[in-house]
């Protein structure tokens, strides 16, 4: 490098971290309507930073939900165009009592920045803003054309971005879509995700009576909504952890020996995972390793179940209703709508006597997969190698970024998922954090990538 | 009657109702520690009314929990002594959104007084205070000796009254213990309960990991506390609604033809119950009618289950923990401790792979039964007949008043359970109410009883 970016980023590190902390302190929880103002504030904050970085045409687009932000710097004639996608919204934070420091009071401990959104995705997205700013300040130009398209609804499955993409294909046209919203395999072991699981979700309500009832006067003689709900929910899996819904696995690809070999390369330490998470044992479908289960197999998870009395002490009530929130991660060619239909059919078929259910389908997204031999992915692996000293592995990620498949197909460009998080950074959970070693190396890797493409 | 009590109570009806409303507006929820002050306030309110009524030795006794109130009027030499037992504490009120009017803003609609505690038990207990007051005001004396022993912890299974009873046997000695905390069979069909179910309760917690996890990164590869909990809880019943815990039914008496005949006399309308409660069907053990299931069979009820995300929208979390609150109603010779032990053993034996459970036993009470031929019960049936025009049936009540067995055995006196509620008055549920027809008739029935014994 003719310019010493390492020195530049070291010199500006405190300023950069303070800026990021400021952003992280805005509780931009897209799922909760009471935070709508905070989400808008986080959007405006980012637009300000994009402008400060030297980007042009910084625009905040209002949508039916939360704003979309675009910006560009298109002065590298004849060079490729890179579109940076990311999101400034964050997950809810409960259970709050499990956070060691409050989720919206960012704190650095042991080289890690703790806050909701620290790694998913404000922290990672921030790297792109500061990498571009550094290059523009140091070199007065960029070696590529760059565009940003940032949304505030990724954590609620991007309801409004698809329409914006459809209406702005030319404006957003690019040779690669770069996304930093995934993880390294482990410290010092970079990875480029070539697959994301799809998603579908639903809410289930169950009702047995028109009022809660006293267990003394009625107990033993009337249906109990919680009994019906636990019976119904327990029918969704068999004892081996396999989803027991007929048709659920339609479209799932059997793992080829080559794919199993690729997974084995990760040399994933299952014992360490158990120790780290305090697990008695791993759990899941028979015949698959942990990385195979998460990377190449679908799952159906109960995310929330509730009904009846939750307060202190006891209450001898027979609850009239119970509720469950369910999400599925999908792989290969599973059709999210077909999966939802299969679940709905299963739930109706297994509803216990005396109960009525209400099935509300929510998000839907197909799985995404890309061939790792694409030059834009190979250059990302080069960039990682130049900074981390080790070439990135091409992996399948268990998470879903529902918009990636839509971005890639609409703009007809490869999605380059170069993530700087770590798998144990508690994203979507209490004590989310971002390892600052990857904050530092992430900035350099992005600069490197923009020079290589 | 030489004195026209009907006219007296009609004349004072508005005053009496306003007083009761004042009492009902005090949220004396014994289960919730934040209401400790309110419980104390409700106790002081009652002590004031007992004094106003003309009772003597009105005392408020502090305990390790909520206060016990005693009072007496012992000037009927050679006459029997009646001890009135009741409670001024109430159940919690959630789910609050299901109340048509706020639980602590008493309101009369269609001849019914709506409020938490309206029927259980402030409303019913208030009748005794006003009946005694009326007799003392009108006749300057009582035809019996009367004592009051009122507690504020019935809804949390009376943890402190047993010790007080043991230490005050002489002070509380009586020929009958009168309790109005049960129900008529239906409007116009009085009943005297000769049986109460026992009770035991527990809280169950289940943990799988030391942190909530992201379903993308881990889903399909690690245990989910909610999956484990619904599987564990669904193992507690078989598909016919029978409790599947080994040893649970030990001590339960088979129903004799005579007992079945007694139950049949109630001519209980199961179709009306279904319509009233909006039930698709009744539910419970095969081979028993509704009144038999509730009156003579034990039950195990999930009162609350919760874990994971309950907020608006979705959250792709794998919860680390889940919780359940469980109560059992017991009959005949079931030993509450043995039942708790059997459940604990069952839960440990059925805990799914990867989960750890914590079992916390809570309340324990034996069932209570009394022979209906006792003269003090027959006189209560006479009193009902004189006011309602129809003789009371002797029934088995499905509810539990854990202290009744203790009161009766400690004081060696029959418990006379003459209740003035109705089965559909939503006790322990939203929209609890008290039918004012039975408020009026209850006052007269109590006066009548005190004259007859």
Q: SS3 letters for A373-389?
A: CCHHHHHHHHHHHHHHC
Q: Which two three-digit tokens encode residue A120?
A: 């998913």
Is residue B2 within 8 A of residue B64, CB to CB? The reply is no
pLDDT in tens, chain A (453 residues): 478 999 999 999 999 999 999 999 999 999 999 999 999 999 999 999 999 999 999 999 999 999 999 999 999 999 999 999 999 999 999 889 999 999 999 999 999 999 999 999 999 999 999 999 999 999 999 999 999 999 999 998 899 999 999 999 999 999 999 999 999 999 999 999 999 999 999 999 999 999 999 898 899 999 999 999 999 999 999 988 899 999 999 999 999 898 898 889 889 999 999 999 999 899 999 999 999 999 999 999 999 999 999 988 888 999 999 999 999 999 989 999 999 999 999 999 999 999 999 999 998 989 999 988 999 999 999 999 999 999 999 998 888 888 999 999 999 999 999 999 998 899 888 999 999 999 999 999 999 999 999
**Chain A residues with beta carbon closer than 8 angstroms to that of B313:** 31-32, 92, 156
Q: Which of B32, B233, B329 sits opposite A215 (nearest CB)?
A: B329
- pLDDT at residue number B1: 45
Residue B212 contacts A where some CB pair is shorter than 8 Å = yes
**Chain A residues with beta carbon closer than 8 angstroms to that of B211:** 98, 277-278, 426, 429-431
Beta-carbon count within 10 A of B356 CB: 14
- Among all residues of chain B, which has the CA nearest to that of A421? B217
Q: What distance in Å separates the CA atoms of residue B342 and residue B395, rounded to the nearest whole number?
A: 29
Q: Is A70 exposed, middle or buried (0-12, 13-18, 19+ CB in 10 A)?
A: buried
User: What are the residues whose beta carbons fall under 8 Å from the beta carbon of B276, sequence distance 6 or more?
Assistant: B424
- pLDDT at residue number B315: 86
Residue B271 contacts A where some CB pair is shorter than 8 Å = no
Reported as a single tens digit per residue, the pLDDT across A248-293 is 999 999 998 988 988 898 899 999 999 999 998 999 999 999 999 9
Residue B351 contacts A where some CB pair is shorter than 8 Å = no
**Chain A residues with beta carbon closer than 8 angstroms to that of B237:** 227, 231
User: What are the residues whose beta carbons fall under 8 Å from the beta carbon of A128, sequence distance 6 or more?
Assistant: A84, A86, A148, A178, A180, A446
Beta-carbon count within 10 A of A424 CB: 18
B413 to chain A, closest Cα gap in Å: 24
Tell me the helices (H) and strands (E) count for chain B, helix number first.
Answer: 15, 18
Q: Which of B32, B307, B311 sits opposite A313 (nearest CB)?
A: B32
Closest by Cα among A208, A215, A428 to A307: A208
The 3-state DSSP class for residue A315 equals coil
Q: Is B184 exposed, middle or buried (0-12, 13-18, 19+ CB in 10 A)?
A: buried
Q: Is B187 exposed, middle or buried (0-12, 13-18, 19+ CB in 10 A)?
A: exposed
Residue A238 contacts B where some CB pair is shorter than 8 Å = no
Q: Does A283 contact B397 at a Cβ distance shorter than 8 Å?
A: no
Q: Which two three-digit tokens encode residue A287?
A: 């015949």
The 3-state DSSP class for residue B43 equals helix
Beta-sheet strands, E only, within B182-337: 191-196, 198-207, 213-214, 299-308, 317-318, 321-330
**Chain B residues with beta carbon closer than 8 angstroms to that of A283:** 221-224, 353-354
**Chain A residues with beta carbon closer than 8 angstroms to that of B298:** 220
Where do the domains of chain A lie? 5-196+368-452, 198-252+298-365
Residue B348 contacts A where some CB pair is shorter than 8 Å = no
Residue B240 contacts A where some CB pair is shorter than 8 Å = no
The torsion region of residue A18 among left (phi > 0), alpha (psi -120 to 50) and beta comes to alpha
Closest by Cα among B298, B302, B284 to B235: B302
Beta-carbon count within 10 A of B137 CB: 13
Q: Which two three-digit tokens encode residue B235?
A: 């193992």
The 3-state DSSP class for residue B112 equals strand
- Among all residues of chain B, which has the CA nearest to that of A295? B217
Which of 71-110 (B) contact A at CB < 8 A?
A: 91-92, 94-95, 98
Q: Does A426 contact B32 at a Cβ distance shorter than 8 Å?
A: no
Q: What distance in Å separates the CA atoms of residue B300 and residue B327, rounded to the nearest whole number?
A: 6
Which H/E stretch holds residue A356?
strand A356-365
Q: Does A327 contact B308 at a Cβ distance shorter than 8 Å?
A: no
- DSSP for B249-275 reads TTTPPPPPHHHHHHHHHT---HHHHHH
**Chain A residues with beta carbon closer than 8 angstroms to that of B299:** 215, 219-220
- DSSP for A426-437 reads -TTSTT-EEEHH
- Mutation pick from A193, A215, A245 vs chain B, by most beta carbons of B within 10 Å, is A215
Which of 106-135 (A) contact B at CB < 8 A?
A: none
User: What are the residues whose beta carbons fall under 8 Å from the beta carbon of A211, sequence distance 6 or more?
Assistant: A320, B98, B277, B278, B426, B429, B430, B431
Which H/E stretch holds residue A328?
strand A321-330
**Chain A residues with beta carbon closer than 8 angstroms to that of B203:** 314
SS3 of chain A: helix, strand, coil, percent, to 5 = 35, 25, 40
B132 to chain A, closest Cα gap in Å: 29
Q: How far is CA B393 from CA A233, B143, B266, B418, in A?
A: 43, 26, 8, 11
A311 to chain B, closest Cα gap in Å: 8
Q: Which of A209, A210, A218 sits opposite B294 (nearest CB)?
A: A218
Is residue B379 within 8 A of residue B453, CB to CB? The reply is yes
Residue A293 contacts B where some CB pair is shorter than 8 Å = yes
Q: Which two three-digit tokens encode residue A125?
A: 């997205």
- Mutation pick from A186, A302, A330, A361 vs chain B, by most beta carbons of B within 10 Å, is A302
Name the pairing type of β-strands B198-207 and B321-330: antiparallel
Q: Does B429 contact A214 at a Cβ distance shorter than 8 Å?
A: yes
**Secondary structure in 3-state letters for A271-308:** HHHHHHHCCCCCCCCCCCCHHHHHHHCCEEEEEEEEEE
CATH T-level fold of A198-252+298-365:
Alpha-Beta Plaits (3.30.70)
User: What are the residues whose beta carbons fall under 8 Å from the beta carbon of A153, sequence distance 6 or more?
Assistant: A30, A63, A65, A66, A87, A89, A159, A160, A161
> ipTM score of the complex?
0.78
Question: Which CATH number is B5-196+367-452's, of 3.20.20.450, 3.40.630.10, 3.30.420.40, 3.40.50.300?
Answer: 3.40.630.10
CATH number of A5-196+368-452: 3.40.630.10
Q: Which of B230, B279, B307 sits opposite A354 (nearest CB)?
A: B279
**Chain A residues with beta carbon closer than 8 angstroms to that of B336:** none
Q: What distance in Å separates the CA atoms of residue B269 and residue B366, rounded to the nearest whole number?
A: 29
Q: What distance in Å separates the CA atoms of residue A375 and residue A449, rounded to the nearest whole number?
A: 12
**Chain B residues with beta carbon closer than 8 angstroms to that of A218:** 294, 398
pLDDT in tens, chain B (453 residues): 478 999 999 999 999 999 999 999 999 999 999 999 999 999 999 999 999 999 999 999 999 999 999 999 999 999 999 999 999 999 999 889 999 999 999 999 999 999 999 999 999 999 999 999 999 999 999 999 999 999 999 998 899 999 999 999 999 999 999 999 999 999 999 999 999 999 999 999 999 999 999 898 899 999 999 999 999 999 999 988 899 999 999 999 999 898 898 899 889 999 999 999 999 899 999 999 999 999 999 999 999 999 999 988 888 999 999 999 999 999 989 999 999 999 999 999 999 999 999 999 998 989 999 988 999 999 999 999 999 999 999 998 888 888 999 999 999 999 999 999 998 899 888 999 999 999 999 999 999 999 999
Q: Which two three-digit tokens encode residue A75?
A: 């002065």
Q: Which two three-digit tokens encode residue B149?
A: 């022993």
């Amino acid at each position: 490098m003719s310019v010493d970016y390492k020195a530049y980023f070291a010199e500006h590190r405190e300023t950069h971290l303070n800026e990021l902390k400021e952003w992280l302190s805005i509780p931009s929880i897209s799922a909760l309507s009471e935070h709508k103002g905070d989400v808008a504030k986080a959007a405006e904050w980012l637009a300000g930073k994009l402008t400060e970085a030297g980007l042009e045409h910084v625009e905040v687009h209002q949508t039916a939900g939360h704003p979309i932000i675009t910006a560009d710097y298109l002065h590298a004639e004849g060079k490729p165009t890179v579109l940076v996608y990311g999101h400034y919204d964050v997950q809810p934070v409960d259970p709050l009592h499990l956070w060691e420091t409050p989720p919206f009071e960012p704190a650095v401990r042991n080289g890690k920045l703790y806050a909701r959104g620290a790694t998913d995705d404000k922290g990672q997205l921030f790297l792109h803003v500061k990498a571009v700013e550094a290059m523009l300040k140091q070199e007065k130009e960029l070696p590529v054309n760059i565009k940003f398209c940032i949304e505030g609804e990724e954590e609620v499955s991007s309801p409004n971005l698809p329409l914006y993409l459809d209406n702005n294909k030319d404006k957003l046209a690019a040779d690669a879509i770069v996304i930093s919203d995934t993880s390294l395999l482990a410290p010092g072991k970079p990875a480029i995700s070539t697959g994301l699981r799809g998603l579908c979700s639903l809410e289930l309500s169950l009702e047995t009576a028109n009022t809660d009832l006293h267990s003394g006067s009625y107990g033993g003689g009337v249906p109990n909504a919680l009994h019906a709900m636990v019976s119904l929910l327990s029918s969704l899996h068999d004892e081996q952890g396999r989803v027991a819904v007929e048709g659920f696995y339609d479209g799932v690809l059997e793992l080829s020996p080559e794919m199993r070999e690729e997974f084995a390369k990760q040399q994933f330490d299952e014992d360490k995972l158990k120790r780290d998470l305090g697990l008695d044992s791993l759990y899941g479908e028979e015949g698959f390793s942990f990385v195979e289960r998460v990377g190449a197999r679908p799952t159906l998870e109960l995310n929330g179940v509730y009904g009846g009395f939750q307060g202190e002490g006891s209450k001898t009530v027979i609850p009239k209703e119970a509720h469950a929130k369910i999400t599925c991660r999908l792989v290969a060619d599973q059709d999210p709508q077909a999966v939802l239909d299969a679940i709905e059919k299963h739930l109706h078929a297994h509803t216990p006597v005396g109960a009525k259910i209400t099935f509300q389908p929510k998000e839907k997204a197909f799985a995404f997969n890309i061939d790792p031999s694409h030059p834009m992915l190979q250059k990302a692996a080069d960039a990682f190698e130049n900074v981390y000293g080790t070439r990135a592995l091409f992996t399948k990620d268990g998470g879903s970024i529902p918009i990636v498949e839509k971005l890639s197909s609409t703009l007809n460009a490869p999605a380059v998922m170069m993530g700087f998080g770590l798998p144990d950074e508690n994203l979507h959970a209490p004590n989310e954090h971002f390892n600052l070693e990857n904050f530092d190396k992430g900035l350099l890797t992005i600069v490197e990538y923009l020079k290589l493409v």
